[in-house]
Structure 1
Amino acid sequence: MDDTLKQALALGRGYYLKKEYGLAEQYLTQVVEHNQSFADVYNMLGVIYHDQGQYQKALRAFEAALRINPGYTDAALNLAVTYNDTGKYKEAQETYRHALSRSGASHGKLDRFVQGKLANMYAEIGDVYLSSGMYPEAIEEYRRALALGPAFVDIRAKLAGALRDAGQREAAIAEYEEVVRQSPTYVPARLNLGLSLYAAGRKEDATKQWQRVLEISPGNRNAEMYLQMS
């Protein structure tokens, strides 16, 4: 590789790390026009295209990175996320599984970073099902996400909401209670826990939750309204 291309590669990587994607794209594109052997360059371009909303170009870039280096976990994860963003959920899951099967993680154990990305992917699929009123499917995806990220309280709160909307009130209460146990100051969960308790006829317990919200967030309008109406 000549000095001009080396400089373009260095500049492209530098701008990419600073998230100056417009400048990074110019130099990284220059690199791949002359040398197609850098998997990380294609991965960086994929991230840039994804950020721009050019999902098809992002898919091609991540796929190119994986052709050069089939064991490139970051590229595989980015490809899976892009599949997910374009509604290709089956391909997203298959890509994740393939990436994990090639990783150096012990059998049955995943890298924490991979676990988090996979959990969020399942949660996003759950969101799609939930928005379509497909509660059993949403609940299943949220449970898959929590199996990988049990401390993700935002996902657990989504599961609780899906259970509530599916008519599984007691299960929803149990999940909301777990959320506030893990994150006592998570106001949205306490508000919804109060509503679920109130719907279950447990007015005193509901009141305690809303009063606690006001201790955490003085002047919270929702909590004040619920207390006035209860």
Structure 2
Amino acid sequence: MRVSTEHFLQQAHERFAVQDHYGAVHLLDEILESGRRFADVYHPRGLCLSLLGQPEKASEEFDRSLVVNARYIDAQIHRGVILAELGRSAEADASFQQAAALGQTGPGGFSRPVASRLANLHAELGDAYAEIGAAAESIHEYQRAVGLGPDFHDLRYRLAWLLLEAGRPLEAREELERIVAAQPMFGDAAATLGLAHYLSGDATGAQEIWADCLRQRPGNARVGAYLAMAKRLGS
């Protein structure tokens, strides 16, 4: 995550600690409004909404968190708690069972919680490299992170952007295709996949992907901006 995102997230955690749940939600919304989508934003937002007596909305936030990172154990557990409160017992049990399964051994022989922590450490180091303009080192750390957790789609998404920013759109396409294949509802990844196609010289493929994005979410401002760019550049 970028420094500004970490700043807002830290402030949100501080608000949560003093039970200012509305304040925490406001800070988390600041991150989402900037166009960034992280499991670690949706999950605490869901917690706040549940404590504010909005279980349905809380459940939706936990779902969004799991779309980004299907191995997020806490999100699965809290999703199960909320679903149980809503009387959706079968779904709650399935969520708890999934959380238990995630605690088994993951890539590299590490337990999933350990793999997740290690992946986040690599990501933090990658962000530090990115801050000083060391693109190759930043990409390498993110590649190590996703190697520990192939389903850590929030980290893979960040890796894809690092590759795009480094002028490596073909590699970015590969990462984004993996995300979209695993999580078709990850709309930002699909829109960025279109951009990766465009930047790698496949304007036709980009247009097709963006058209599909608009069918799923009409009025998508981000996709509209990409299409306007392509039109202005004559693609």
TM-score, with length taken from structure 1: 0.51
Task: Give the 5 Å matches for 1:16-95.
Answer: none
Aligned-pair CA distance for 1:178: 1.3
Amino acid at match of 1:159: L
What does residue 201 of structure 2 align with? 201
Gaps of 5+ in 2: 1-15, 20-104, 231-235
Distance 1:134 1:20 in 2: 35
What does residue 212 of structure 1 align with? 212
Aligned-pair CA distance for 1:123: 1.0
Gaps of 5+ in 1: 1-18, 23-104
What does residue 157 of structure 2 align with? 157
Amino acid at match of 1:113: P
What does residue 140 of structure 1 align with? 140
Amino acid at match of 1:195: L
Distance 2:209 2:220 in 1: 12
What does residue 115 of structure 1 align with? 115
Aligned-pair CA distance for 1:21: 7.2
What does residue 81 of structure 1 align with? none
Task: Give the 5 Å matches for 1:215-230.
Answer: 215-230=215-230
What does residue 179 of structure 1 align with? 179
Aligned-pair CA distance for 1:210: 1.2
Larger RCO: 1 or 2 (CA < 8 Å, sep 6+) = 2
What does residue 36 of structure 2 align with? none
Q: Alignment identity in percent?
A: 38
Distance 2:228 2:163 in 1: 26
What does residue 82 of structure 1 align with? none
TM-score, with length taken from structure 2: 0.50
CA RMSD of aligned residues (A): 2.3
Aligned residues: 129
Distance 1:21 1:194 in 2: 42
Amino acid at match of 1:204: T
What does residue 23 of structure 2 align with? none
SS at match of 1:184: coil
Aligned-pair CA distance for 1:125: 1.3
Aligned-pair CA distance for 1:145: 0.6
What does residue 128 of structure 1 align with? 128
Amino acid at match of 2:127: D
Is contact 1:185–1:216 with CA below 8 Å preserved after alignment?
no
Moved more, 162-171 or 115-124: 162-171
Is contact 1:135–1:166 with CA below 8 Å preserved after alignment?
yes
Question: Which of these two proteins has the greater Rg computed from alpha carbons?
Answer: 1
Distance 1:155 1:20 in 2: 26
Aligned-pair CA distance for 1:216: 2.7
Amino acid at match of 2:138: A
Distance 2:126 2:186 in 1: 21
